[in-house]
Chain A
Amino acid sequence: MAMNYNSKDEVDGGPPCPPGGTAKTRRPDNTAFKQQRLPAWQPILTAGTVLPTFFIIGLIFIPIGIGIFVTSNNIREIEIDYTGTEPSSPCNKCLSPEVTPCICTIDFTLEKSFEGNVFMYYGLSNFYQNHRRYVKSRDDSQLNGDSSALLNPSKECEPYRRNEDKPIAPCGAIANSMFNDTLELFLIGNDSYPTPITLKKKGIAWWTDKNIKFRNPSGAESLEERFKGTTKPVNWLNPVYMLDSDPDNNGFVNEDFIVWMRTAALPTFRKLYRLIERKSDLHPTLPAGRYYLNITYNYPVHSFDGRKRMILSTISWMGGKNPFLGIAYIAIGSISFLLGVVLLVINHKYRNSSNTADITI
């Protein structure tokens, strides 16, 4: 780097003091920084310091792991695949596109009652919501209620930008491919009279998404008016302002829509569908018993070998059922312990090494 170039030096002959005899010497300052003598702590990794660390980490991680594992195991979860590819499945009939609307019903039994709030998910597999073009195919401005973007969606939405010369709202492939099965849950009581389980539609999306990121176009008129001039996505049955009857859950702020728009990271994913709120401490939210799931089968997945599932799950402080984290913690704790032992043995055997010549990186 030519940074230190000083043409003056070269013209005047450089270091030997200029004839002017300036009293100023060029002795470098004697500061700790310039002399690289800053007070420092030089941590040398010795057996004495490292070994306890390993054991301590082991001791901390294993209990945490056990805790997580137990918590995760206490979570009740039931998963019902209703794709209907098997001929025996009640939904098998819905595979053919002619049957519209196709409603199928799947029976299942809860062995144990589900306490507390129960989450109802739908799960899709082999569905690439993380595909690059797919992920990009949306217009956040439009979803944020920007009126100009509403009528003139971003180019990213192509080829779901306009339909029949009208801008699509919401535009893009993500919105277009929104999950549109309807799931209903019924408890088959002893009296053989099925009780519908109340499924709460709201509260399934992130608060920030619902209240900040997604907004309907502003205006005092009805939602339909505000979406005037736009058309529904190609695959949709209804326009966006008819997703729900509740005006707080309609249009862009429809939570099912918001959840769908928060794309999954991986091709097999679940999305929250409904909440089943606990009614009281006395009664379990979902008592053990027989249930049937009523499915309005709209969403085609068999073309790409996808699966559709319905999942019911209770939750804990750390979310849904997740055995892996607990196992991971236990494993890390054990590894740490093991490494500690190995180090102890090695250190015991080769104690002669000195640490002064320690120049490993």
Chain B
Amino acid sequence: MGDTGGRRGAQRGRKAQPGRAGKYELRPKGPAGMGSLSHGEDFQDGNENTAFTWDVKANNQAYNWQFKEKVFLCWHRQKYKTNVIRTAKYNFFSFLPWNLYEQFHHVSNVYFLLIIILQGIPEISTLPWFTLFAPLVCLIVIRATRDLVDDIGRHRSDRAINSRPCQVLVGKSFVWQEWKNLCVGDVIRLSKDSIVPADLLLLASTEPSSLCYVETADIDGETNLKFRQALMVTHQELTSTRKMASFQGRVTCEEPNSRMHQFVGCLEWNGKMYPLDIGNLLLRGCKIRNTDTCYGMVIYAGCPSVTCGLPIPSWCRAGSPAPARVPAAPSPAHPPPHAAPQIFLLLVVMSTALAMSFGLWMREFKDRHHYLWILYQGGVALESFFIFWAFLILLSAMVPLAMFIMAEFIYLGNSIFINWDQEMYYAPLDVPAKARSTSLNDQLGQVEYIFSDKTGTLTQNILTFKKCCIDGHVYGPDSESRTPKGNPYLWNQFADGKLRFHNEKLLRIVRAKRDKVVREFWRALAICHTVMVQEKDSERPDLPVYQAASPDEEALVTAARNFGYVFLSRTQDTITLMELGEERVYQVLAMMDFNSTRKRMSVLVRNPEGTICLYTKGADTVILERLHRKHSAKLSTEEALAAFAKETLRTLCLAYKEVDEATYKRWHQRHQEASVLLQNRAQALQEVYNKMEQNLKLLGATAIEDRLQDGVPDTIKYLKKASIKIWVLTGDKQETAVNIGFACQLLSDNIHILEEKEIVHILEACSKCSSNPLTKKGFPKFPPHIKLAMVIDGDFLDKLLLSLRKEPRALIQNVEADDSRQEPWEAVRDFLRARGLSMLWQNFGVQQTPTKSKDSKTRESPEVQRERAFVDLASRCQAVICCRVTPKQKALIVALVKKYHQVVTLAIGDGANDVNMIKTADIGVGLAGQEGMQAVQNSDFALGQFCFLQRLLLVHGRWSYMRVCKFLRYFIYKTLAITMTQIWFAFYNGFSAQPLYEGWFLALFNLLYTTLPCLYVGLFEQDVSAQQSLQMPKLYVAGLKGELFNYWVFLQAIAHGTATSLVNFFMTLWISWDTAGPCSFSDYQSFVVVVALSGLLCITMEVILIVKYWTVLFVVAIVLSLSFYGVMTYVTQSYGLYQISPKTFSFLYADHNMLSCPSTMLVILSNVTLNTLPVLALRMICQTLKKPYPKEEAEEEAPTEEIFTVEPIPHLHRGSCGRRSSYAFSHYEGYADLITQGTILQRPQEVSSELESDSPVTSEEELLLRPNSSCWHFRKLSLGRLRHHQGEVSFEEMKPSSAMSSSSSVDRQSAVNSDNQGSPTKKLPAAMNRASGSFQKLQMVKKRPLSPKQRPPLPENLLSTKEGSVPLPKERALPKKHQLSLPESQPQPSATKPLPLGQTLWGSQTESSEEKLSPVSTSVPLGESQPYISPKEPHASKEGTVVETLPGTEESSL
């Protein structure tokens, strides 16, 4: 999830560059009057990139309505729509034509329509019109009904949404109106937790600096809070409803588009232009959070109907109904809808053959059969041509029209069963399983690869404090019996009761306060972290709520809190603790943050007594080597760590030391120097840190459990037994991932883990011997019985899979498929059409691929070869763990496997970072977890827990697969058994295409007579019970191998069908040959009746034999089917209908006459028996001869032991020597990260600059950027200074300087010191100021948190200043504070400082600001913003934008 944010942020920044660079220039220049000309030019620049054709004026409907857009020729309509959304496709009038149009967009429907039209030509009309017409009409009616039901549902939800209330400014007051009445230009008021009704320009909010927090879960699935900010100018001016009403701003911006993270616009108000970007925008569908009230102006309203395919505003895209993913890439697993054409081809061939036979026959007999040839007027060729079409019509019943629609029902039914399954209902979240796509059920039974996310999928993403070791003593949780009944932490008013760790002994020691080590241990936990405090309106408002960057930290801090060391609050340089009831304020002197190379984090504090202490926590390896000397507790701690690691706990060592004042002074000096270095600063800082982090005293170790979800190990065990390969793709670090791999039994001690070097080695070996493909295949190094696993990381993949990166075709196709949603219904349906036969094609595909690859092997590039080798190698592995992979890489890996192995892949994940993967895989499973709904929304199946996957695959998947296979096989059999007789009959009627069956029989055969048993097979059949399926995962292998439906089975079905038709036809023929008389059926109609009835009964008999799960429903289905035959035959052969149309109902009493004869019954009986018995016997023989499944367990275990002894694992540092220690800060951060960084920004210089080391990977990039930005900075500032001297400095003028350190909006900048700072700061204020109410109060609210506790006078200052006029004091107050803090804590002002300083110019303190300015320009301390450049910083979306715009900005300014 974090990754996505980061990526997106980076993208946004990049994209924004060209458009924005110019715009930001325009801002300062324009109003400053430095050149109104240049302003205009700049503006045009902007226009070139994005045409600002969207023009909205606030509170001025007349103006907005004047815009028209051309619709068609000279017909114009209102350009701006109302806020009505219409996801429904049809309305009352358009339903019929539109739906019919859509339905006949289809190959098979068109085909049948064509056949029906052909039938109208008398020369070639073989079947009566209704024979094909009735099924087609049924099909269309059923589909139309379904579409109608869908659409009614959409109408209903549309109505619900459109009638939601919101407050709109009408005249001088806000009134409640429905959403649909909103218009562009309206000013609306939103309160907390309400949903944004349209895309709004944020005008003001009750939060300081007009920040507004939104949750975008419904748009992008991210649950973290994001902030939006109003322009400073609107924030300051629009302070009352009256002013709102008179607001006359005019917004010009781009047309609504689908770029959700990009927006370029411009607000024109009172003759000045203000640039707008996405940060000023509230998108429809967001939820307002933590913000009491905010005001916005509607820019984009409504949502063009999905059907008209217009560009749509953000909201619609997010909510657009495209639940079923359409696999656009034609892979064998998803064949394009050419199934019908292929059958059609077969049909054409057969018709041609028969027509040619007719031609030959005709040539010979033409002049002889006088009674016939007068009927044939045309020549041989012409008549043969006619006969060809006639046969085409006659045999069109072979194209199983009904199969498609029945398959749809079966897929739907199986999906509904998934939804209904109680065993997959997750009670804690009230989430039942949900099959969102109903077209993939059968593939669930064939999944060969599972790609799983780790966090939140395998694990609960809940880290719990499990054990600790303090001073060598291990404190584990008390056993159940000894655990006190009540909450043992009741004595502690801050205990939140979440801690499940109970250890009475430890608690006693802690409360006794005697043990110093224990005291320091908990203190270290409470101090050394980057957790933020946030207060929420909960039932206990006095309790702090922690917002941590990583769940590990939160777990640790929470544990400390429950043990009485409560972290209360933090300011920029203090940390307040409540230690067992005593409040203590620690002054933070330095914060040496965590990064992946340091693997530790330290905080240097001065405690209330005045002593300076360093608290460190980190990975055991780094901590242990930094210990003071041989510790008494060191050995026992190491033992404890080993023990923890064995239990797959995440361990962390804690240490501390006291620092004397002199040492600190010296160190501080060096730290300062290092932090202002221009080059290699990160490195220098690390060295400085390292200096300090020496000679530590070990306090102890903690063990955190990354709790697996319930049943994960079992699930994985069973899935592995089912021969499913499980790959874990995680953004986490290698240690964490491997750790989890062991915890969930994906890896075990007897598995040989391949690491990168080895993989490279093998792959090279492969490429060398690639000339000889035979040796290449086997990977000679590893005998086949050795179990392998692979652990790789994202960078390695990147290097390895060059070609995939270069041309990620498969992925791109997949992704594009999602974007092309113009006709999702169409595509889905087309796809479904093919789905019925998907397996068939898939299995064909599997068989075709080896040959294909062999052919192409010679031409393969080395990259492709290497990729193939890699995939082959990986597929040999029992488990593959990919760590540190980005969401895109996740998808690439899936695409890679799909590319080289034609197998069914399943991706499961819970967060937005899994979306790519979920979309790429054949089957996407989303977990309805805490990470928002995006994974679910892009998935095909939504589950509550990972362990339900076992049931989903092994039970539902297997069942679905088995059902669909049985259904397909049976359906093919059934169709052929009936239609093949027509061909045999052709040999006896001179190839004249005379139909064998009565029209009504053919028409109703697929509709009524055999449908119910077919559906029963597809919906209810169970060969083994759910319990058995779960207990015997081996059964699943049948699906993997495609055993139940493949070429062979297909041929069997064809042979069986042909045999049945042969028996029925020829038995009847021979018996009736040259007979006549009372009970003879030598006449055409009787003959037909006997053959048809025999066929029907044979088919029914077959279904009786294949169904293994006889319920009442089945009996009902059989009985109903046969009685349908009885009733319908009676009806269609009755005199009443005959009188109406003798031609249509020509079989008058044919059945009646035939069935009243006992001999007819005997014939039918013999036909059915002859058909059934041999098949039954064959099946019995096969079953008897079939080998039973091998006994699995014993065979598996034996050889693995061998491996372990034969081939010791050299590189796996586990067991006693190695610990799976992980300083397990998850490498991606939530919005807490944003807070942390922002907060740190406000802290003294040395603290903030430490953060830089956070992104060591990108340090080069950083260095490159630095000089540029500094130059720019310098230039800007000096420019500002220059102007100031000229006495023309305006408020606006100074803004550019801030632009560089903050995000795009200049106004926002000036409001809060910097953007980065802004949002996080708000967390603090939010916490402090629970009752931030009216507009006017805002300013003081904002100041309060910023004031450090050590400087009580400052708040007073601020309070006094705020008494002044509304807009100004704020500006003044901010710099003041900074000024005060500047000289004291740091000689070098931070990069953020220039901004406040610049603003001070505006205020009274010009002199001091001048002083401060020069150091800024020389020292170039842009450090704070540097870390955000790092693409590895996933959540720095805001910051990413900021920094990345810099070069562009600079260029344009130069």
A contact residues vs B (CB 8 Å cutoff): 1-8, 10-17, 19, 25-30, 34-36, 38-45, 47, 50, 53-54, 57, 61, 64, 68, 119, 121, 123, 125, 127-135, 137, 140-141, 143-144, 154-156, 159, 173, 176-177, 206, 208-209, 212-213, 262-272, 300, 303-305, 313, 315, 317-322, 324-325, 328-329, 332, 335-336, 339, 342-343, 346-347, 350, 352-361
Contacts and interface: CB of A to CB of B under 8 A. Distances in A.
Contact of B1082 (A128, A269, A353): A269
Contacts of A40: 1022, 1109-1111
Interface stretch (B73-81, B1151-1159, B1369-1377): B1151-1159
Contact of B1075 (A1, A54, A209, A270): A270
B1049 A361 contact: yes
Contact of A358 (B1142, B1158, B1183): B1183
A11 B161 contact: yes
List of 5 A-B pairs having minimum Cβ-Cβ separation, nearest first: A140-B1142, A319-B1079, A265-B1087, A270-B1076, A318-B1159
Contacts of A313: 1077
Given A27-B425, A361-B969, A38 B1113 contact: yes
Given A1-B438, A14-B933, A325-B1159, A353 B1173 contact: no
Interface string B214-235: 0001100000000000000000
A361 B965 contact: yes
Contacts of B369: 128, 303-304
Interface stretch (B151-159, B710-718, B784-792): B151-159
Given A42-B1110, A155-B122, A176-B371, 12 more contacts: A1-B829, A1-B832, A36-B959, A121-B1077, A206-B1149, A208-B1149, A267-B989, A271-B1076, A272-B1076, A335-B1170, A343-B1184, A361-B1106
A154 B1143 contact: yes
Contacts of B1180: 45, 47, 50, 343, 346-347
Contact of A140 (B429, B1146, B1157): B1146
A88 to B, nearest CB: 24
Contacts of B1183: 45, 353, 355, 358, 360
A250 to B, nearest CB: 21
A57 to B, nearest CB: 6
Interface stretch (B8-16, B410-418, B689-697, B1343-1351): B410-418
A134 B1074 contact: no
B140 to A, nearest CB: 16
Nearest to B376: A133
A173 B371 contact: yes
Interface residues of B, number: 149
B87 A7 contact: yes
Nearest to A35: B422
B71 interface: no
Contact of A27 (B432, B933, B1020): B432
B760 to A, nearest CB: 42
Given A131-B989, A132-B993, A208-B1148, A263 B1074 contact: no
Residue among A61, A140, A272, A343 with the highest chain B CB neighbour number at 10 A? A140
Contacts of A27: 422, 425, 427, 430, 432
A202 to B, nearest CB: 14
Contact of B989 (A28, A54, A130): A130
Interface stretch (B588-596, B742-750, B1023-1031, B1360-1368): B1023-1031
Nearest to B285: A11
> Interface residues of B: mostly helix, strand, loop or mixed?
helix
Contacts of B1113: 38
Interface of B: 87, 122, 126, 146, 149-150, 153-154, 157-158, 160-161, 193, 217-218, 285, 318-319, 321-324, 365, 367-372, 374-376, 390, 408, 411-412, 415, 417, 419-423, 425, 427, 429-432, 434-436, 438-439, 824-825, 828-829, 832, 928, 933, 936-937, 942, 959, 962, 965-966, 969, 988-990, 992-995, 1020, 1022-1024, 1026, 1028, 1032, 1035, 1038, 1044, 1049, 1067, 1069-1088, 1105-1106, 1108-1113, 1135, 1138-1139, 1142-1143, 1146, 1148-1149, 1152-1153, 1157-1159, 1162-1163, 1166, 1169-1170, 1173-1174, 1176-1177, 1179-1189
A65 to B, nearest CB: 9
Contact of B1044 (A12, A34, A263, A361): A361
A17 B430 contact: yes
Nearest to B156: A8
A13 B933 contact: yes
Given A34-B420, A212-B1149, A346-B1185, A68 B1084 contact: no
B820 to A, nearest CB: 16
A290 to B, nearest CB: 25
Contacts of B1086: 265
A358 B1028 contact: no
Given A354-B1188, A360-B1182, A121 B1076 contact: yes
Contacts of A347: 1180, 1184
Contacts of B149: 3
Given A8-B160, A212-B1149, A358-B1183, A42 B1020 contact: no
16 contacts: A1-B828, A4-B434, A7-B158, A8-B157, A28-B421, A34-B420, A36-B417, A45-B1176, A265-B1088, A272-B1076, A304-B368, A317-B1159, A325-B1166, A343-B1177, A346-B1180, A346-B1184
Contacts of B1035: 357, 359
B1270 to A, nearest CB: 45
Nearest to B146: A3
Residue among A35, A318, A339 with the highest chain B CB neighbour number at 10 A? A318
A209 B1153 CA distance: 10
A271 B1084 CA distance: 12
A47 B390 CA distance: 48
B157 to A, nearest CB: 4
Given A1-B324, A26-B430, A35-B420, A268 B1074 contact: yes
Nearest to A333: B1169
Residue among B1079, B1106, B1185 with the highest chain A CB neighbour number at 10 A? B1079
A313 B1075 CA distance: 10
A47 B1184 contact: yes
Contacts of A335: 1170, 1173-1174
A63 B992 CA distance: 41
Contacts of B1105: 45
Contacts of A315: 1077-1078
A27 B1067 CA distance: 56
Residue among A25, A144, A177, A359 with the highest chain B CB neighbour number at 10 A? A359
Contacts of A155: 122
Nearest to A335: B1173
Contact of B1153 (A11, A119, A128, A206): A206
B1184 A353 contact: yes
B1075 A320 contact: yes
Contacts of B828: 1-2
A55 to B, nearest CB: 12
Contacts of B1162: 64, 68, 318, 325, 329
Contact of A320 (B146, B1076, B1177): B1076
Contacts of A8: 157, 160
Contact of B1177 (A38, A134, A339, A356): A339
Contacts of A132: 126, 390, 989, 992-995
A343 to B, nearest CB: 5
Nearest to A349: B1184
Contacts of B1112: 38-39
B1148 to A, nearest CB: 5
A228 B221 CA distance: 86
Nearest to A41: B1110
A345 to B, nearest CB: 10
Contacts of B1189: 357
B427 A159 contact: no
Contacts of B1071: 322, 324-325, 328
